[in-house]
Amino acid sequence: MNYRHAFHAGNHADVLKHIALLAICDALVAKPAPVFALDTHAGRGLYALDSNSAQRTGEAEGGIGRLIAEAPRHPAVARYLAAIRACRHEHGQASYPGSPWLLAHALREQDRIAACELQPEEAGQLKAVFERDPRVAVHARDGYAAMKALLPARIGETRYNRGLVLIDPPYEAQLEEFDTAIAALREGISRWPQGTFALWYPIKLRRALQPFYRRAAAIPAKSSFVAELQVRADDSPLRMNGSGLLVLNPPWQLDQSLAGVLPLLARVLGEGPGAASRVEWLVRAA
């Protein structure tokens, strides 16, 4: 695989993904039972927005850069920006946290995190980030295969009945990645039916996603919804016009939180009249 998230760190897709990730984590830690989190495509965990890779695309300026400059008032935005400040206090003002860093930031001492990364260089960087954090186990392996090996979540004598699986693939295989991801979600929910699962996906041409929506709705989760943020009209197959999260077994009121913040993000991060957002249930709990 040639994908490197360093080119895209802090863009509009990361803003959506990481605001939702923190909201899920905060809901999980609201109860005392320990939590397990599996990040299947973890990347390097920490990025420098002044690196050549980030500067080459400039995508962070249209994402986290714009959000910091015009922060709309909403608890989910405040929570996210507080995490960014914590990361920069520890690692410097040009730093940006990847999803495993945010998981480690949001979860507690009794919680555990498994972060998977297949690319050797990225996995090496990830191990360096968490070498002093005993809560985080870094696996240099395929994240989809890790779902079979690590679910249901059990470490030693502790069985984790609550937690999160974040699937954030690079989509180098384009639409074929959806087939792999749907199969992994079916496998994961069968092994850990009480877990929360979140799949990130890009939006180019929305009509191409209709088969994905139908198959996602057929996954036997107790409940599921999609949350999407578009920064421009979805009329070009050549670029990512937005992105979404499919969430299975979402925490209580996560949909309401995202429904409140996404229109604000569309206003701040939007690049034209096609900017939009939506939260739509696929399956509601009985």
Active centre residues (catalytic): 168
CB-facing half-sphere around the CA of 211: CA atoms within 13 A: 7
Number of H helices, E strands in the chain: 10, 12
User: Position of tokens 């604000």?
Assistant: 264
State how far the Cα of 140 lies from the Cα of 126, in Å rounded to an integer. Answer: 9
Q: What is the DSSP letter of 206?
A: G
Q: Three-class SS of residue 207?
A: helix
Q: How far apart are CA 100 and CA 159, in angstroms?
A: 21
Say which residues have a Cβ less than 8 Å from residue 277's Cβ, sequence separation at least 6: 227, 228, 229, 230, 262, 263, 265, 266
77: closest CA among 62, 93, 90, 66? 66
Radius of gyration of the CA atoms of the chain, in A: 17
Going by DSSP bridges, is the β-strand pair 162-167/196-203 parallel, antiparallel, or unpaired? parallel
Q: Which residue has the tokens 């004598």?
A: 157
Residue 191 and residue 152 in contact, taking contact as beta carbons nearer than 8 Å: yes
Closest CA relative to residue 21, chosen from 69, 90, 83: 83
What are phi and psi for residue 33, nearest 5 degrees? -60, 145
Among the listed residues 147, 160, 149, 159, the one whose alpha carbon sits nearest the alpha carbon of residue 186: 147
